[in-house]
């Protein structure tokens, strides 16, 4: 069984027991949360449920940790103009363990 959820402007395919890194969510480590909007749910028999058939489908999880990703270096350069800029960025994330999918 798996579900497709939308959170932080991205979609993730999740299964129970799986660890997922999503955009930073409010809450403390160990807290129970309900993950984003459910887009689709697949049952064991290969039956895919989407759209208005979902009803009140929910995906619940537990926050395992908060952190920051690896540094991404951004380098800007314009030839013949003596223009160079280097900046770095680290994206915040929340690691969530999916506990159950209610469909």
pLDDT (tens digit per residue) in 14-61: 999 999 999 999 999 999 999 988 999 988 777 888 887 788 889 999
Q: What spatial distance separates the first Cα and last Cα of the chain, rounded to whole Å?
A: 10
Per-residue confidence (pLDDT) for residue 45, from 0 to 100: 74
CA distance 6 to 68: 20
Per-residue confidence (pLDDT) for residue 48, from 0 to 100: 84
How confident is the prediction for the chain on average, in pLDDT?
A: 93
Per-residue confidence (pLDDT) for residue 92, from 0 to 100: 97
pLDDT (tens digit per residue) in 56-77: 889 999 999 999 999 999 999 9
Give the domain ranges of the chain: 2-102
CA distance 73 to 102: 40
Provide mean pLDDT across the span 83-95. Answer: 97
Longest CA pairwise span in the chain (Å): 62
CA distance 66 to 28: 9
Backbone angles phi, psi at 5, to 5 degrees: -120, 160
Provide mean pLDDT across the span 86-98. Answer: 97
Q: How many C-beta atoms surround the C-beta of residue 61 within 10 A?
A: 26
Q: Which one is predicted more confidently, 72 or 1?
A: 72
């Amino acid at each position: 069984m798996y579900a497709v959820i939308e959170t932080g402007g991205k979609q993730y395919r999740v299964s129970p027991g799986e660890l997922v890194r999503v955009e930073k969510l409010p809450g403390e480590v160990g807290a129970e949360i309900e993950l984003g909007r459910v887009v689709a749910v697949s049952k064991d028999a290969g039956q895919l449920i989407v759209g208005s058939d979902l009803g009140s489908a929910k995906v619940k999880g537990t926050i395992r940790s908060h952190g920051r990703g690896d540094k991404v270096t951004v380098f800007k350069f314009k030839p013949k103009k003596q223009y160079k800029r280097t900046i770095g960025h680290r994206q915040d994330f929340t690691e969530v363990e999916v506990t159950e999918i209610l469909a």
